[in-house]
Amino acid sequence: MEERSPNQTLTGVVVSDKMDKTVVVLVNRLVKHPVYKKYIKRRAKFMAHDEKNLARMGDTVEIIQSRPLSRLKRWRLIKVIASQA
């Protein structure tokens, strides 16, 4: 059986890379409506720590939950999955 990480991971698209060592990641998800049983699009933005400034705007990235790094940053960049280049 596969080991599960205690920290949650998400996949999203970088919408801003203007800050130093920080990227803003937009994560889309589908949620089933409890009454109508129709799938609804939901999205959230997360600020993620990018130590080496690898990610660029438009890149698809994977982020992992971590300890609080600043007032708004609670996520870290794991890897760049697809580059916009």
Domains of the chain: 9-82 (2.40.50.140)
Task: Decide if 78 contacts 59 (C-beta within 8 A).
Answer: no
Q: What are phi and psi of 45, to 5 degrees?
A: -105, 135
Quote the pTM value. Answer: 0.86
Residue partners of 49: CB distance under 8 A and separation at least 6: 21, 22, 66, 69, 73, 75, 76, 77
Put residue 15 in one of left, alpha, beta given phi > 0 → left and psi -120 to 50 → alpha: alpha
What is the tens place of the pLDDT at every residue in 18-43?
A: 999 999 999 999 999 999 999 999 99
What is the tens place of the pLDDT at every residue in 44-58?
A: 999 999 999 999 999
